[in-house]
Structures are given as structure tokens and as C-alpha cells.
């Protein structure tokens, strides 16, 4: 399938929404953006950038994307920072911060930052700004992680760099820390026309399930997520095993490896151990996932789980809701923005809660269907890529008018 153009979105979101983007873009004028993150594949940030970057270009905003480089020692540190910022107790030696800064400086020296707006995603490249002494352009730090309970040592260190930025963006007001710079709230978004989310033929879905040898004789409960402790994959297995005592079903767990995530194998081993030799549990670990296959797994599922215990947003929730799936999600981070409990899905706080909701939704087909339908509408209203594009355009306008809460466009 050819890569979707902006005009293709008219059929999904309506002519007005796309027209408004062009109007806003004309007010923004000739501008350039550079996005910087730490992985080109795996995880939600890369997933979004792959679509946001070409679509901003189509709107006339010259947008590029660069990925910082680092050795295994750097990514071990940044994953430890990520875990600490999501609340893990850990004390770091000064050498760790020095290594982090050395890699940021090395990347800074190899890159150029001439665009009008530099958007730095997440903590890995956050310190790049330190070496940009005189700047004419704007720098914004886009934080995608759940910052509701940050480890103070890491956050104190990082904040000294974050406060050098012109603004920071968080996925939920719940994470907004005290900062000296303005803050914006951007919900992440999914692309309804990307291979990950577009409509699929039933035959293709069937072929994917056959390829991975997943029988469809029983209802399928699925979690698709990196093997990461915050996604609680072991809790998913426990919840499934509890529920299956009452309702017959299968569990499908799919995860891939993000280039900047060194933890996957360790967590996968814990997951395999928790699953044991249960014939109803299928665990798939992909080096590179194929978007249409992930799409097919979601469409073949009777229930989608995202039982996270910390979560910046979880694109997987919106992806499943868009496909009318009933979703059970951990009541953390950005998930409650997507799941209104009992209306667009079910929120849970424990393994027992997840198990109970699996049983409920497998036994109450009407309820499950209604949640999926409401969920689809919620995604359409709030979490599609057209809304994210609009936010980037509004950000460019807002940064041009610092301190103004209203901007009049002629």
C-alpha cells in the first residue's frame, strides 16, 4: 500500500479537520523542525515520528529526524534513568552522570541544530542543549514517560538541563512537575491509515494467526508490549491463569526489542518462567515486528490488555480501541486519558482486578462490544495523528508569542 497523504485523512476525520491543518500551517509559514530521539525502531516514540515527520513536511513544515548514538553502556544508563524516573528506587554514582553527559556531548558535536524548532524526545538526548550556548531557535523537551513518581536524584540532575529549554511537553497534566519553563500537554496519537491500524482482510488476519500457530478455538486475550517491567508482563500471566480457572481462553503475548532497550531478554526469561509449559499461553518475541502483523494480532483478539504499572501513554491502548477491541488497562499514567472506566474500557489496579475484568468481558459480550465502540469514538475524538499535527502547529505559533494565552490569526 502506498504511503498515506494528508488528503487521505479526509475520509477518516472529515474535510474540515484536514482543512484546519492547512489553515494553521499557512499562519505558521516557512518553518523547520528537527526531532531527536534515541531509537528509530521499537516503542511508541519511533512509531509516532515515522508518521508525524512526513505529514509535517506535507504541511510545508520542513521536518527532519535524527537518532542519537551510544554504546551499550549509554543505553544501560538511559534505561536505568528511565526506570528511575518512572519511580524505581536506585542510587547512581557520579560516574554514571558523567558517562551520560559524555555521550550527549559526543552526539552534540556530530549534529547540527539550525532548524527553527528542536524537539528533543525523552531523557536520553535531554542534555544536548547544554552545549548549544548561543541560540536563535527554540528548543522543546518532549517527555513521553510517566513522571508521576520520579526518583529525585535523577530528576534533580535532569531538571537542570530541562530548565534550559524554552518549554516542556508532557503526555498528562498528572506528570507536570514544577518547572521554571512553560509546559504543554500533548496526547500521543495513532495513525489510522498506517499499516499498524488500517483495515485488514479477514484472510490476512487468519494467515498471520496460522503463521504463528495460534489456534482460534477459544477466545484470545492479548498484550502487545515491549518486555519491560513497567508493562507488568508477569502480572498479565498471573491474571490470565486466575481468569482461566473460570473461563476458557488463550493468552497471546507479543513483544519486540527497541534498539535502546537492553532489558528485554531478562524480562522475557521471567515471563517464560511464569508461563511454564501452559499450552494456552503463546509468547512471541520479535526482533523486528511487522506492523500489519501487530494489527492482525490486535484484530484477532477478543480482549486487549495493557496491564502497565507505570505508563507514559500506551499507544497500544488507542490502537486496540481504534479496532473496536474491549481494552483492560492499568489505571496509571496516560491510560486513564484513553480508558474511561466502564465506558471506553476497564481500568484495573491489580492482578486480581485484571483477572476479574477478563472474566467479565469474556462472559458479557454486549458490554465488551459497547466498550469497543465507545473506545473507537474516543480515539477518533482525541488520539489520531491529525490532532497531534495540530498541536505541533499550535506549538510553533505559541512559541512565537511567548506569554500570550490568546493568539489572533488574521
Q: Which residues bind ligand UDP (CB under 6 A)?
A: 43-44, 47, 196, 224-226, 254-256, 286, 289, 294, 313-316, 319
Minimum distance from residue 182 beta carbon to ligand UDP (Å): 25
Residue nearest ligand UDP (C-beta atom): 44
The three-state secondary structure class of 114 is coil
State how far the Cα of 339 lies from the Cα of 51, in Å rounded to an integer.
Answer: 24
Nearer to ligand UDP, 91 or 288 (CB): 288
Minimum distance from residue 108 beta carbon to ligand UDP (Å): 25
State how far the Cα of 362 lies from the Cα of 368, in Å rounded to an integer.
Answer: 8
Phi, psi angles (nearest 5°) of residue 146: -75, 110
DSSP letter at 2?
A: P
Minimum distance from residue 401 beta carbon to ligand UDP (Å): 31
Sheet holding 281-286, edge to edge: 281-286, 250-256, 220-224, 303-306, 327-330, 346-348
Nearer to ligand UDP, 115 or 263 (CB): 263
Minimum distance from residue 24 beta carbon to ligand UDP (Å): 26
The dihedral region occupied by 122, where left means phi > 0, alpha psi between -120 and 50, and beta the remainder, is left
Nearer to ligand UDP, 221 or 294 (CB): 294
Nearer to ligand UDP, 240 or 313 (CB): 313
Query: Minimal CA–CA distance to 393: which of 409, 377, 410?
Result: 409
How many beta carbons lie within 10 A of that of residue 132, not counting itself?
13
Contacts of 277 (CB under 8 A, 6+ apart): none
Find the distance separating the first CA and the last CA of the chain, reported in whole Å: 39
Minimum distance from residue 257 beta carbon to ligand UDP (Å): 8
Minimum distance from residue 245 beta carbon to ligand UDP (Å): 28
Instruction: Check: CB of residue 165 under 8 Å from CB of residue 181.
Output: yes
DSSP 221-250: EEEE--S-GGG-HHHHHHHHHHHHTTS--E
Nearer to ligand UDP, 28 or 294 (CB): 294
Nearer to ligand UDP, 44 or 326 (CB): 44
**Helix orientation angle between 233-244 and 351-363, rounded to the nearest 10 degrees:** 50
Minimum distance from residue 286 beta carbon to ligand UDP (Å): 5
Minimum distance from residue 290 beta carbon to ligand UDP (Å): 8
Phi, psi angles (nearest 5°) of residue 106: -60, -45
Nearer to ligand UDP, 225 or 387 (CB): 225
Nearer to ligand UDP, 289 or 374 (CB): 289
State how far the Cα of 135 lies from the Cα of 306, in Å rounded to an integer.
Answer: 41
Nearer to ligand UDP, 115 or 375 (CB): 375
Minimum distance from residue 127 beta carbon to ligand UDP (Å): 21
Amino acid at each position: 500500500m502506498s504511503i498515506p497523504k494528508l488528503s487521505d485523512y479526509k475520509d477518516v476525520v472529515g474535510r474540515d479537520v484536514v482543512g484546519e491543518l492547512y489553515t494553521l500551517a499557512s499562519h505558521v509559514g516557512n518553518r523547520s523542525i528537527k526531532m531527536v530521539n534515541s531509537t528509530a525502531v521499537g516503542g511508541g516514540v519511533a512509531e509516532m515520528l515515522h508518521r508525524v515527520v512526513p505529514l509535517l513536511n506535507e504541511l510545508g513544515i520542513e521536518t527532519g529526524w535524527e537518532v542519537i548514538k551510544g554504546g551499550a553502556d549509554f543505553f544501560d544508563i538511559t534505561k536505568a534513568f528511565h526506570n528511575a524516573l518512572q519511580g524505581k528506587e536506585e542510587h547512581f554514582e557520579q560516574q554514571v552522570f558523567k558517562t551520560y553527559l559524555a555521550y550527549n556531548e559526543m552526539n552534540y558535536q556530530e549534529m547540527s541544530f539550525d532548524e527553527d524548532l528542536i524537539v528533543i524526545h525523552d531523557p536520553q538526548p535531554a542534555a544536548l542543549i547544554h552545549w548549544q550556548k548561543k541560540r536563535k531557535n527554540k528548543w522543546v523537551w518532549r517527555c513521553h514517560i510517566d513522571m508521576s513518581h520520579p526518583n529525585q536524584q535523577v530528576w534533580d540532575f535532569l531538571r537542570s538541563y530541562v530548565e534550559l529549554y524554552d518549554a516542556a511537553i508532557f503526555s498528562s497534566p498528572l506528570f507536570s512537575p514544577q518547572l521554571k519553563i512553560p509546559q504543554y500537554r500533548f496526547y500521543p496519537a495513532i495513525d489510522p491509515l498506517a499499516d499498524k491500524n488500517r483495515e485488514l482482510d479477514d484472510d490476512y488476519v487468519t494467515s498471520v494467526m496460522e503463521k504463528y500457530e495460534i489456534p482460534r478455538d477459544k477466545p484470545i486475550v492479548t498484550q502487545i508490549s515491549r518486555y519491560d517491567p513497567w508493562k507488568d508482563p508477569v502480572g498479565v500471566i498471573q491474571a490470565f491463569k486466575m481468569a482461566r480457572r473460570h473461563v476458557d481462553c488463550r493468552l497471546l503475548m507479543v513483544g519486540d526489542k527497541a534498539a535502546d532497550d537492553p532489558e528485554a531478554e531478562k524480562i522475557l526469561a521471567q515471563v517464560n518462567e511464569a508461563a511454564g509449559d501452559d499450552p494456552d499461553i503463546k509468547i512471541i518475541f520479535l526482533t523486528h515486528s511487522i506492523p500489519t502483523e501487530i494489527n492482525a494480532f490486535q484484530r484477532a483478539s477478543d480482549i486487549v490488555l495493557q496491564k502497565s504499572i507505570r505508563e507514559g501513554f500506551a499507544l497500544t491502548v488507542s490502537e486496540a480501541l481504534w479496532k473496536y477491541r474491549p481494552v483492560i488497562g492499568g489505571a496509571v499514567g496516560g491510560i486513564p486519558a484513553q480508558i474511561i472506566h466502564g465506558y471506553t474500557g476497564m481500568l484495573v489496579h491489580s492482578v486480581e482486578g485484571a483477572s476479574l475484568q477478563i472474566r467479565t468481558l469474556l462472559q458479557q459480550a454486549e458490554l465488551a462490544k459497547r466498550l469497543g465502540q465507545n473506545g473507537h469514538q474516543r480515539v477518533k475524538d482525541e488520539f489520531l495523528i491529525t490532532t497531534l499535527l495540530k498541536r505541533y502547529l499550535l506549538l510553533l505559533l505559541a512559541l512565537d508569542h511567548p506569554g500570550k494565552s490568546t493568539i489572533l490569526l488574521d
